[in-house]
A and B are shown apart, each in its own frame.
Chain A
Amino acid sequence: MSDPSLEAPAPRPDTGKRFRRTLAMVMGVQVVTLVLLWLLQQRYSV
């Protein structure tokens, strides 16, 4: 695999910030949603 386009991009110190920030927010929203859905089920289905 000598073609550089086939290799994983080398990490740069200034890249990935937005990705990490977005990742944290996305996961936060998913966790809150799952908790709310769980509460909805527990409150109204039992």
Chain B
Amino acid sequence: MNPLNWVIVFGWLGYVVIHGIRRSRGQKGIDAYILANRNIPWWAVGLSVMATQLSAVTMIGTTGQGATDGMRFVQFYFGLPLAMVILGVTLVPFLHRARVYTAYEYLERRFDAKTRSLTAFLFLISRAMSCGTILAAPAVVFSAIFGWSVSLSVAVIGVPAILYTMVGGVTAVTWVDVKQMFLIVAAMLAVVITLLVQMPVSPSDALHIAGAAGRLKVFDFSFSLTNTYTFWSGVIGGTFLMMSYFGTDQSQVQRYLTAKSVDEARSSLLISAYWKIPLQALVLLIGVLVFVFYQFSPPPLLFNPDHEHRVRAAQPAAFSALQARFTTGLGARTAAARALAGAEDAHDAPATATARQSLAMADDSVSAVRTQALDLAAKVTGQPSKDVNYIIPRFVIDHLPLGLAGLFIAAVIAAAMNAISGELNSLSTTSVIDFYRRWVRSDSTDEHLLVVSRVATGIWGVFACVIATYAVNLGSLIEVVNRFGSFFYGSILGVFLLAMMPRAKATGAFVGLICGMVAVGAVNFGAPSVSFLWHNVIGAVTVVAIGGLISSMGKTRRAA
């Protein structure tokens, strides 16, 4: 890569580490480290939460999904604004007013210690795993671009984030997030502009081509428990997932606990929902435009360069045959795309209809060859061959002009750091407050807890790096992250919903939580075709139903 790109990448890395540490200078005590003395402006909290969601997984995985699958993934986020409104009037006031460090601490006050410890433990498991997968996403970019080992790539990205999070706590995390948010948006806009400039057709024709290939289908109103990306899965399942994530996940709760008041806390939460759907649509649209770009510039048969080299070496004849068919298919697809653009410009309706049909058929033919190549790669390498996460990195390396490649890579690293720094901070907080201070040393001084928190951040950082090294081959990173969470999320949400019901009792909450997880486990293994989005609904409803029932039975017995 050109030295200018390196200067941009490492210049930015150095800048954010210094900025994060400087913003947290003079920090004394655990309250400042965990909650920034509840003194961060609401807009900064909101931007920080929003930045956390724009992770590297979004920049690589979601754009890749846009290129292969189109815009329908955006339906996944349809429940988010609704979830924010519900949380703003329910859980946020409860948690902020309780003056707690962690969401789980509240559960002990409301129920008992075992409910607190179990929910905190589940959070630690799921977040630590997902933290690793989020870190793995940019490691894929690095290993693909520079031929570095995955572990070295993970260290290059993880160490700066661990460093400023360890030293600066939530203050550093929040203010670095705010800075990096601007870089990420600028990098995405730069890619869009590059695409529009380099494409040989007008933006309108580009959208016609994308539409003909089925990439602009956004809404699917069918009701299906097995299809993740439908309107109803997004609105119902998505609302529960987002409520669980933003209402009970310490990595998010800790952010709005730093706000000055209840009003500012829930406003910050809404701010984070502000641009979520538009931004996700933009991210997917980038993927769609990359798809259109590759109508006129031949893409590689396999986007994963490592797999491409290995298949070439192991099965040269089979690869050459596939490559020849692929090249022929691409030629037909390019011709059909040009015909469609020409027919649209000439407003020739019959020719447009014919060209749309030809393009759809040519695209199906190209996809079929790619599927065969991916199967061959899976056979040769023994690894999952879904290369959706390599599409954008390959585009960036091959086609982005000088400087912009560095900007994009810096933005991918920034996005990864945003996501993992907040999570490391919350993992440390939960370990220290819900376990160390609760069960090991309840008489710890403020200074001692601060030291333990920094050490815990470092340990969780190393753990995330280890997970990241092994997570790169788990398939589409987006789904992996969401799957980890959804196994527990719904049940934990159910416990918090119970906590707001005055009649709910500790035994009901604990038994309900166990039943919720068993129900999700039964559905996950008994009916694996049910989409993971519905796991949250099943978990939450089971906990509330069983927990409520047991709580009311206890009351009836006492009354009798």
Chain A positions within 8 Å of B, measured between CB atoms, are 1, 3, 5-9, 15-19, 22-23, 25-27, 29-30, 33-34, 37-38, 40-41, 43-46
Contacts and interface: CB of A to CB of B under 8 A. Distances in A.
Interface string B405-448: 00000000000000000000000000000000000000000000
Given A22-B270, A26-B270, A44 B263 contact: no
Q: Which 9 A-B pairs have CB atoms at the shortest separation, nearest pair first?
A: A44-B211, A5-B98, A45-B211, A22-B270, A37-B218, A9-B93, A44-B207, A41-B218, A30-B81
A20 to B, nearest CB: 10
Contacts of A30: 81, 273, 277
Contact of A37 (B71, B106, B261): B71
Interface string B192-211: 00000000000000011011
B264 interface: yes
Contacts of A18: 42, 263-264, 267
Given A19-B266, A38-B219, A6 B208 contact: no
Interface in B54-100: 71, 74, 78, 81, 84-85, 88, 93-94, 97-99
B138 to A, nearest CB: 28
Contacts of A9: 93, 97, 262
B109 A26 contact: no
Contacts of B214: 45
Interface of A is mostly: helix
A37 B264 contact: no
28 contacts: A1-B502, A3-B109, A5-B97, A5-B99, A6-B109, A8-B97, A9-B262, A15-B263, A17-B263, A18-B42, A18-B267, A22-B274, A26-B81, A26-B270, A27-B81, A27-B85, A33-B277, A37-B71, A37-B74, A37-B218, A38-B219, A40-B218, A41-B216, A41-B217, A41-B219, A43-B207, A44-B211, A45-B217
Contacts of B106: 6
B263 A8 contact: no
Given A15-B263, A26-B84, A40-B218, 14 more contacts: A3-B109, A5-B98, A8-B94, A8-B500, A9-B93, A9-B262, A19-B88, A22-B267, A26-B81, A29-B275, A33-B277, A37-B219, A37-B281, A41-B218
Contacts of B275: 29
A40 B217 CA distance: 9
Contacts of B109: 3, 5-6
A29 B274 contact: yes
Given A19-B263, A37-B71, A44-B210, A26 B273 contact: yes
Interface residues of B, number: 41
Nearest to A41: B218
Contacts of B97: 5, 7-9
B69 to A, nearest CB: 14
A29 B278 contact: yes
Contacts of A33: 277-278, 281
Q: Which of A8, A41, A44 has the most CB of B within 10 A?
A: A44
A26 B271 CA distance: 7
Contacts of B277: 30, 33-34
A22 to B, nearest CB: 5
Nearest to B503: A1
B325 interface: no
A7 to B, nearest CB: 8
B452 to A, nearest CB: 25
Given A5-B109, A30-B277, A22 B218 contact: no
B19 interface: no
A34 B79 CA distance: 12
Looking at A6, A8, A22, the one whose CB has the most chain B CB atoms below 10 A away is: A22
B110 interface: yes
Contacts of B93: 8-9
A34 B80 CA distance: 13
Contacts of A29: 274-275, 278
B86 to A, nearest CB: 11
A46 B352 CA distance: 12
Contacts of A34: 78, 277
Interface in B209-226: 210-211, 214, 216-219
Contacts of A16: 263
A5 to B, nearest CB: 4
A1 B294 CA distance: 62
